[in-house]
A and B are shown apart, each in its own frame.
Chain A
């Protein structure tokens, strides 16, 4: 199994530009999570999906952030317009939604730098 695949690995953009981050979860996993990691705030949950349906987006910082999951094998996180304070590592993670199994599998992350 290839694991959770994220692209791009690195993204450098200028303030005001649109940024799209992509994620392919592990086949068979029906929950998908987007996290953001910074030194100051640690790992923060932005949004998660169960069976392609957004369940909780209360962690999305503001309307500039949006996420979609059009099918079970693909999700995007979009920032429009981007700002320097959005610079962080963005992780996608997936798991099987099981009452007794909360094991999350993470991708390698996208390092975003907004200049």
Chain B
């Protein structure tokens, strides 16, 4: 079993839809959880950052962490064509490098 599992998609939704992206993980020591967004031919850029369990909201984006289930989610409300990108989950234990999921490719159709 890989440390971090993420459905690669692709996921295609109409503009305005709510998008749900998910990752599961196996390492119970992970306590830093992040979502990166990667546009075509660009490097990943940090979108959301959560320490330990709970929810975090930033505009149209909400990140959730459920450590008991080893499951993290990213919700995008009122999705826009500009949200079309690959979304990578990433996580780490204290003092260790980030481990990334393979990424989910999202297309938001106008």
A102-B32, A108-B43, A109-B43 as given contacts; A42 in contact with B101, CB under 8 Å: yes
| B100 and A43 form a contact (CB under 8 A) | yes
Q: How large is the interface on B (under 10, 10 to 19, 20 to 34, 35 or more residues)?
A: 20 to 34
Whether A14 sits at the interface, judged by CB under 8 Å, is no
Q: Which residue on chain B has the smallest CB distance to residue A6?
A: B43
Most central of B34, B41, B49, B97 by chain A CB within 10 Å: B97
| B97 and A91 form a contact (CB under 8 A) | no
Tell me the residues in window 40-68 of chain B with beta carbons closer than 8 Å to chain A beta carbons.
41-46, 49, 51
| B43 and A107 form a contact (CB under 8 A) | yes
Bound complex: CA of A93 vs CA of B27, how far in Å? 23
A/B pair count, beta carbons within 8 Å: 49
Q: Contact partner of B95 among A99, A104, A108, A111, CB < 8 A?
A: A99
CB contacts (< 8 Å) of A109 on chain B: these are 41-43
- Give the Cβ gap from B25 to chain A, nearest Cβ, in Å: 14
CB contacts (< 8 Å) of B49 on chain A: these are 102-103
Bound complex: CA of A42 vs CA of B101, how far in Å? 7
Q: Which residue on chain B has the smallest CB distance to residue A44?
A: B100
CB contacts (< 8 Å) of B32 on chain A: these are 102
Q: Contact partner of A106 among B34, B41, B45, CB < 8 A?
A: B45
Whether A56 sits at the interface, judged by CB under 8 Å, is yes
| A42 and B43 form a contact (CB under 8 A) | no
Q: How large is the interface on A (under 10, 10 to 19, 20 to 34, 35 or more residues)?
A: 20 to 34
Q: Contact partner of A42 among B45, B94, B103, CB < 8 A?
A: B103
Whether A21 sits at the interface, judged by CB under 8 Å, is no
| A56 and B102 form a contact (CB under 8 A) | no
Q: Which residue on chain B has the smallest CB distance to residue A3?
A: B43
Tell me the residues in window 30-69 of chain A with beta carbons closer than 8 Å to chain B beta carbons.
33, 41-43, 45, 48, 56
B positions within 8 Å CB-CB of A = 32, 34, 41-46, 49, 51, 88, 90, 92, 94-95, 97-103
A positions within 8 Å CB-CB of B = 4, 33, 41-43, 45, 48, 56, 91, 93, 99-100, 102-109, 111
The 9 closest A-B pairs by CB, nearest first: A106-B43, A42-B102, A43-B100, A102-B32, A106-B44, A108-B43, A103-B46, A107-B43, A45-B97
